[in-house]
Structure 1
Amino acid sequence: MHPGDVAPHAYAPSDDAPGHLLTSGTSADVYAIDDERVLRRYREGRDAAPEVDLLRHVRSHDFPAPDVLRAGGPDIVMTRMHGPTLLQALAAGEFSLPDAAHVLADLHAMLHAVPAPQSWQVPRDRDWPQLGGGPVVVHLDLHPGNVVLTEQGPMLVDWANAATGTPELDVAVTAVLIAEVAVDAGGDYSQAARAVVAAFLHASDVSPLTALDDAVALRSGAPGLLPGERELVPQAGALVRTMLALTERR
């Protein structure tokens, strides 16, 4: 799990919660409506329309993601994904580190085959700073905690940061995200995360080197990071750069 997957301190769901709270991120909550549907709701009233547009666009290209059933204002009703996350499967020893890295690389490759919708624009109320655009759809938060292992295969969830961009930036952000866990010397999963980063960079057909500085800048400005967590981002970028250099020498 990375910092963006947990609710802010002292956070409690609203009194008008539509169902059981499944998970909370830095800006949104996900509730179970029933066995088939979930509601993703932005707490500060952010307009979900740009996220909905990208989700519907990638689904029209058969990318494995939730279907949007209904949307309006800060709310998105989507199909419910059943199964453990890739992160949970790793922690339970049900998935090997190399296999997890290949799942991440495969999802990137499939997503980057989806062309950017020409009419899509970056929302003005986006939490993260934005870095240009690009020719394809990018997720910018593709890590093991956002991959659900369903009976139909891995599904990618949490499209709050999705945008148009380059494959290099998307791959770089994933590498930095996982490397943040690797450089946390006090973390329980630092060694495993280091192995996943190395395997992911090896499995990816895209070298993120040219976008690495942008990925570090993007992650450094991510909402919800505590000061100690933010300090890990440059170290994570340096680790990814070192791993890429070692890979290129082979």
Structure 2
Amino acid sequence: MSVPHYLALIGSGCSAEVFRLAGGRVLKLYREGLDPGVIEREHDGVRHAQRQGLRVARALGKREHKGRLGIIFEELAGTPLLRDLLLRPFRSRSLLGRFAAYHARMHRCSGAGLDHAQHIIVHVRILHAEVGEDMRRLALDRLYAIPEGDRLCHGDFHPQNAILTDEGIAAIDWSNGSRGDPAGDVARTELLLRFGGLGGMMRRFPWLRRFRNAAANLYLRRYCEATGMSEEAIDAWRLPMAIAALHPESRIDRDALVMELRGQGHAI
């Protein structure tokens, strides 16, 4: 497939670029060298979510351009929830309530039929984490003390991947989609709300850290109210998810996360 030079580049990240196509579509074109399994995971995850009736950016087909693999999606008319949280903090309670409700709705969907398993994804990341071997063994032991789940999990659900549309929230970026335990998916979202990226901004604007912690706490409260999930179920996942986030390609605020783990008595 040819990507005409006059089409607008509307997004760019570590793993892909997004181009606007005609007819209300976008092309997510992955960067060279990316593991094709990640692309398959995104395609399979979003198609599975579609079949379960979840609001997502529908996958319309795969394409290749100059050796780069891509997926065509419908273009969603909306804005990332993160934008509204930052520009309209007075709406944060309502927005995070909707965010938590969507996540709860996702976890009511079956993950049966998905090839990708949450435990395996987290296991591989722990193996590549930049931590000592004792810490790695502890994280793996904690991971495999948790039974594998069979619910639909996103694996990277945070306010930048939640789009506010006229029909409600729609999740994008399913490259970590899997079948798994909802408590692990919640622990991952909590981690991203508290520590995802923005390390430099946190140092320049300390109030953002307080805002993010408050947002994480509100999300957890709303999710648990909606589902009845226990704090203990989420807590079992916190250490494995934290160590998995310390792999070299992670965009987590490593310094802040390591400080938090050391404060809990862990030797990183």
TM over 0.5: yes
The SS at the match of 2:56 is: coil
Give the number of equivalent residue pairs.
222
Shift of 1:121: 3.3
| Counterpart for residue 25 of structure 1 | 13
Tell me the TM-score normalized by structure 2.
0.72
Q: Percent identity?
A: 23
- Match of residue 194 from structure 1: 213
Q: CA deviation at 1:102?
A: 1.1
Q: Aligned residue for 2:27?
A: 39
SS at match of 2:184: helix
Distance 1:92 1:225, change over 3 A: closer
Within a 5 Å distance, the mapping from 1:166-185 to structure 2 comes to: 166-180=181-195, 184-185=202-203
Q: C-alpha displacement at 1:236, in angstroms?
A: 5.5
Partner of 1:5: none
Shift of 1:222: 6.1
Alignment of 1:1-250 (within 5 A): 19-34=7-22, 36-44=24-32, 45-47=34-36, 48-72=39-63, 74-93=69-88, 96-118=91-113, 120-121=115-116, 129=125, 134-180=149-195, 184-187=202-205, 189-205=208-224, 206=229, 207=231, 208-221=234-247, 223-225=249-251, 229-235=253-259
For structure 1, list consecutive stretches of 5 or more residues without a partner in the other structure. 1-14, 242-250
Q: Which residue of 2 is the match for residue 247 of structure 1? A: none
SS at match of 1:78: strand
Contact 1:29 1:40 in 2 (8 A): yes
* Letter paired with 2:51: S
Asked whether the equivalents of residues 173 and 215 of structure 1 are also in contact (C-alpha less than 8 Å), the reply is yes
* Rg comparison, structure with higher value: 2
Partner of 2:185, secondary structure, is helix
Residues 87-146 of structure 1: per-residue CA shift (max 9 Å, x gap): 1112221762212221221121111111113351369xx897277853112112111111
TM-score, scaled to structure 1: 0.77
- Post-superposition Cα deviations, 1:160-179, rounded to whole Å, max 9, x if no partner, equal 22222211111001111111
Q: What are the ranges of 5 or more consecutive residues in structure 2 without an aligned counterpart?
A: 127-142
**Paired residue for 2:136?**
none
Cα offset, 1:198, TM superposition: 1.3
* Aligned partner of residue 211 in structure 1, secondary structure: helix
Aligned-partner residue type, residue 52 of structure 2 = H
- SS in structure 2 at match of 1:84: strand
Cα separation, partners in 2 of 1:23 and 1:209, compared to 1, 3 Å: same
- What's the C-alpha RMSD, in Å, of the aligned pairs? 3.0
For residue 22 of structure 1, give the secondary structure of its aligned residue in structure 2. strand
| Structure with the bigger percentage of helix | 2
Of the structure 1 ranges 179-188 and 208-217, higher mean CA displacement relative to structure 2 is found in: 179-188
